[in-house]
Amino acid sequence: MEKLFVQKCSNCNKFTFPKKYFCSECGNTEFDAISINEGKVEEISVIRHMLGQKDWKPRKIANIKTALGIYITAGIEDAAQVGDALYIYSDNGAPIGKLMEEK
């Protein structure tokens, strides 16, 4: 599991994803990479059909509110539902959310 990194503007501290070259808030071009570890499911969808693919197996995607406050779209591979807390990681740059284990 790789970490998922977002950018934090080194001038105004605004977070953003995916990669930007100028900060939309202040125009700064320097960013720090910050890893996102946690988020919460806001909305979820099951992609049941894929154009041009006959043997498609349904997959889930979700809108995740991250602990940093910004939203990302992530793949869901387990039973996570709206409201659940997730671990967030990256699969080759694509964000994936995974249910936090019961403590």
State the burial class of residue 94 (Cβ atoms within 10 Å of its Cβ: 0-12, 13-18, 19+). exposed
Q: Which of 9, 64, 76, 80 binds Zn ion (CB under 5 A)?
A: 9
Q: Which does 15 bind (CB under 5 to 8 A by kind): Zn ion, other proteins, none?
A: none
Q: Is 81 in the site for Zn ion (CB under 5 A)?
A: no
Q: Are 61 and 47 in contact (CB under 8 A)?
A: yes
State in angstroms the smallest separation of the CB of 83 from other proteins.
12
Q: Which of 1, 12, 33, 67 binds Zn ion (CB under 5 A)?
A: 12
State in angstroms the smallest separation of the CB of 24 from Zn ion.
8
Question: Which of 39, 14, 40 minimizes the C-alpha distance to 26?
Answer: 14
